[in-house]
């Protein structure tokens, strides 16, 4: 989760910069920029769906970790490997 937020921020900035470059280049060429209410609303819904999936995944991972730690032991949850004796 610690690395996820900066990656999403950088990805969002890159998408915003790319959209601005595409819109300004189309406007300079004299092409019509299709920025209707429907396009803005669909973009908003896609963005909210993506954010919802990220929040859902970041909430389900600790839940699965807790569930598996009850089955596999606390070592699974805390990341320590159990002591394994060496066979000679």
Q: What tens digit of pLDDT does each residue of 24-54 get? A: 888 888 888 777 888 888 888 988 898 888 8
* Whole-number pLDDT of residue 82: 58
Q: Does the pLDDT of residue 61 top 80, yes or no? A: yes
Rg of the chain in Å (alpha carbons): 23
* CA–CA separation, 7 and 87 (whole Å): 44
- pLDDT, tens digit (0-9, with 9 covering 90-100), for 15-32: 888 888 888 888 888 888
- Give 8's DSSP letter: H
* CA–CA separation, 81 and 78 (whole Å): 9
Beta-carbon count within 10 A of 54 CB: 14
Report field, pTM of the whole predicted structure over 0.95? no
Q: For the chain, give the percent of residues with pLDDT over 70.
A: 83
């Amino acid at each position: 989760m610690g690395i996820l937020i900066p990656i999403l921020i950088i990805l969002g900035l890159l998408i915003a910069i790319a959209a601005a470059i595409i819109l300004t280049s189309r406007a300079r060429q004299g092409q019509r920029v299709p920025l209707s209410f429907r396009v803005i609303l669909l973009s908003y819904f896609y963005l909210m769906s993506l954010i919802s999936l990220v929040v859902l995944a970041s909430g389900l991972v600790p839940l699965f970790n807790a569930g598996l730690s009850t089955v596999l032991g606390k070592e699974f949850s805390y990341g320590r490997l159990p002591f394994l004796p060496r066979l000679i």
